[in-house]
Structure 1
Amino acid sequence: MIRVHFTAADLGRITFPVEPHPLWETALAARALGDRSITPAVRRWRRSAAPRVQGSMRPLFKLISPGGLFPDFLTPEVPGPGLESSVEVLTDTPADVIREELEPYLPPEIDRYLRGLLEGQAGSRRALGIAVREFHQQVLAPTSGELQRRYGADLGIRSQALLHGGIDTLLSSLHPDVEWNSPVLTTYGHTEGPTSDIHLEGRGLELYPSPLTTTCLAMDAHGRRPVLVYPCTDLPESDEDPSTNDALADLLGRTRAAVLRSLVHPATTTQLSRRVGISLASTSDHARILRAAGLITTHRTQGTALHTLTPAARPLLVGESRGIQGQIAKTAVQTEDSR
């Protein structure tokens, strides 16, 4: 069980990542490959992802404990988006930080790679960087479209929760195993275990939805904003083949429909390109056509274009989110009744 203690200041400092962090996704995906408690959605992902794992990725898996824990340095704060900059920060982690986080949990006898990592050897750092980069590119990238669709859909749910009922509804509707009783947010796992208390004390909280976990995970590292990872809402699966029954794709074309769906949460051109898995040039072209059709707007600031759905686009997507809207409205009523 994890208890997160808020102050009034922390309630105004709740944030979500605009898009998945490469290193968080890598760590959570590597963890999911060995997790026995998985949802049908994660099981489907694992069947597709597991055959792509290669021997060069072993240094990453050596940092994931049998219980699913991994060290904080595997998910560092990075100055900007992108895999390469993230890997660079990871491989520059000071040796004393690595020793502090790893040594208490390692057996007396460890292999050459881990010994080198503890000693700050360049070869072990390089091996970890290669493992993370190849895992992200070869295991995660082929399935990134579906993972990012679920991630973006969950952010859309949280936006609606905040609009319908404010912070109370947002925190009350995160997951069935998460309970909000102001000023404490409590998460319950699948099994009984020690209670961990996180006192935010004005630092705020980053909420991170993940389609690759079934339980909540928390990081409370010195000098960093705490992070609470929670399972994405499981969207209902259609029994119909989407390739033969996708009205929006029939109207706009499959790629352009994917671009529009991805903008449930606003995105820059680069972010949108990553979400849909197409080139920047193709993304810009689709955005131009959607903008000309009045379905999105684009705001440019300091050389960055941010794309957002217009009110005219939302009726095209409302059928896909009708069940989600009902869930949010129900949660808002329950929260109001409990006051």
Structure 2
Amino acid sequence: MLRLHLTTDDLAQIRVATAPDPMWEILLSLHLLRSRAAPVAFGAWRRAMRGRLAGAERARIEPLVPLAPPVGYSPDFLTPSPGAAGTAEGIERVLATPRRHLRADLTRLASQRRLPGWTGALADGDPATLRRLGTAIAAYHQVAVAPHWQQIHARFDADRALRGRMLLDGGVDRLLNGLNPAIRWRPPVLEMRHYRADRDVVLDGRPLLLVPSFFCWQHPISLYDWDRPPTLVYPVNHDVSWFASAARGDPERRLSTLLGPSRAAVLDAIAAGCTTTELARRVGISRAGASQHATALRDAGLVVTARLGKAVQHTLTPLGAALLDGPAATSHSGRKAGCFQRDVKGVARFRATGGG
């Protein structure tokens, strides 16, 4: 069991990551790919990825494979400090790992399993070997993670919004106790069961970062070396049919038919709540375009906008949420069915603004 001893100052500095961490998603997805865990949620994805990562693609990612065993320790340097702007920056941080960390991490891994000979050069910080590893990480990400980034980001945003509501409604106690069944907050100690060692950690004023992860399964995970930036990664709530739905594209197709592709994407992006700048980034449009679409959706009664300092925060109205869920989801109760019937008026107002 891991026990984090948190002072009042430590609690005040706890943060939830502002975006999914691509390096953690790469590592944890590779763990799942090489295991039989979560057959319902990730079985279809795993079968598809194993097919795509055969032959030449397998050779490209080979330098990464022995560093990410399906169980047990994986080197901390594969998941450098969170906050990288994207995968490319994350890989650059991996390649810039100090030699002492490379050697310490690989020595720890070698104590648990046999490693190929080339990892000796990696431990020495050999530039060519590091570049091969960087190429392998990028290749794996392109095939196994990048195609699903929209779903990953949507689940991340939903979880982050949930944590915000927990904090507002129940304070730090509810936030920490609601992270995962394996995590228990017994002030002043945050306990994490199913940890690979029995350890007590004192943060000494260093901020703890909570990272919701799409490919984290069941139990939270952290870096082994707590002298590095304190990070606790925990699983988001999963939709077990996510891969099949993504393959069919059903939700997006339904909304695109009704609203038009651009504003359907905007409505979906607003589901977890966002500012205009965040909306523009998520959908890949200009800030002015995001503002225009949000205004049209607000005029249709699908979105509500509130000022948040110098920015504005967009969230769905019950009408917008019902429309996003679709008629099948809204037919299970009279209240929701009534909301969906009122969608007709909302869509009429929407089309009057030029939607679709």
1:266 matched residue in structure 2:
274
TM-score (norm 1): 0.78
- SS of the aligned residue for 1:62 comes to helix
- The sequence identity of aligned pairs, in percent, is 30
Deviation at 1:307, TM superposition (A): 6.5
Q: Which runs of 5+ in 2 are unaligned?
A: 330-356
1:211 matched residue in structure 2:
214
2:91 matched residue in structure 1:
87
Q: Equivalents in 2 of 1:317, 1:307: separation in Å?
A: 19
Q: CA 1:88–1:251 in 2, change beyond 3 Å: closer, same or farther?
A: same
1:140 matched residue in structure 2:
145
Contact 2:28 2:216 in 1 (8 A): yes
Q: Partner amino acid for 1:36? A: R
Deviation at 1:81, TM superposition (A): 0.5
Q: Equivalents in 1 of 2:16, 2:82: separation in Å?
A: 15
Structure exhibiting the larger radius of gyration computed from Cα positions:
2
Q: Which runs of 5+ in 1 are unaligned?
A: 323-339
Q: Is 1:200–2:208 an aligned residue pair? A: no
Q: CA 1:158–1:267 in 2, change beyond 3 Å: closer, same or farther?
A: same
Q: Partner amino acid for 2:178? A: S
Q: Is 1:243–2:250 an aligned residue pair? A: yes
Contact 2:215 2:235 in 1 (8 A): yes
Q: Is 1:62–2:66 an aligned residue pair? A: yes
Contact 1:261 1:317 in 2 (8 A): no
Q: Partner amino acid for 1:124? A: T
Aligned partner of 2:259 among 252, 262, 269: 252
2:289 matched residue in structure 1:
285
Q: Encode CA deviations 1:66-85: one digit per residue, 9 max, x unaligned.
A: 42421111111266402222
Q: Equivalents in 1 of 2:94, 2:164: separation in Å?
A: 31
Q: Encode CA deviations 1:198-253: one digit per residue, 9 max, x unaligned.
A: 22232121111112122111126465431111111234769998737987655533
Q: Partner amino acid for 2:294? A: L
1:127 matched residue in structure 2:
132
1:97 matched residue in structure 2:
101
Q: CA 1:222–1:161 in 2, change beyond 3 Å: closer, same or farther?
A: closer
Q: CA 1:134–1:247 in 2, change beyond 3 Å: closer, same or farther?
A: closer
- SS of the aligned residue for 1:37 comes to coil
Contact 1:206 1:226 in 2 (8 A): yes
Q: Equivalents in 2 of 1:247, 1:105: separation in Å?
A: 48
Contact 1:171 1:180 in 2 (8 A): yes
Q: Equivalents in 1 of 2:169, 2:162: separation in Å?
A: 10
Q: Encode CA deviations 1:7-48: one digit per residue, 9 max, x unaligned.
A: 111111111111112212211111221233326223343233
Q: Encode CA deviations 1:171-208: one digit per residue, 9 max, x unaligned.
A: 1111222222222222223xx85323222232121111
Q: Equivalents in 2 of 1:180, 1:78: separation in Å?
A: 24
Q: CA 1:247–1:131 in 2, change beyond 3 Å: closer, same or farther?
A: closer
Q: Encode CA deviations 1:266-321: one digit per residue, 9 max, x unaligned.
A: 3675x656755xx445x8634531234433769999xxx977315x6465227879
TM-score (norm 2): 0.74
Which has the bigger relative contact order, CA under 8 A and spacing at least 6?
A: 1
Contact 1:149 1:275 in 2 (8 A): no
Q: Equivalents in 1 of 2:267, 2:224: separation in Å?
A: 36
Q: Equivalents in 2 of 1:245, 1:120: separation in Å?
A: 46
2:37 matched residue in structure 1:
37
Aligned partner of 1:151 among 133, 151, 156: 156
Q: Equivalents in 2 of 1:136, 1:203: separation in Å?
A: 30
- SS of the aligned residue for 1:158 comes to helix
Q: Is 1:232–2:239 an aligned residue pair? A: no
Aligned partner of 1:167 among 165, 172, 187: 172
Q: CA 1:32–1:198 in 2, change beyond 3 Å: closer, same or farther?
A: farther
Q: Equivalents in 1 of 2:297, 2:324: separation in Å?
A: 21
- The number of equivalent residue pairs is 313
Q: Partner amino acid for 1:30? A: L
Q: Equivalents in 2 of 1:178, 1:39: separation in Å?
A: 24
Q: Equivalents in 1 of 2:104, 2:229: separation in Å?
A: 19
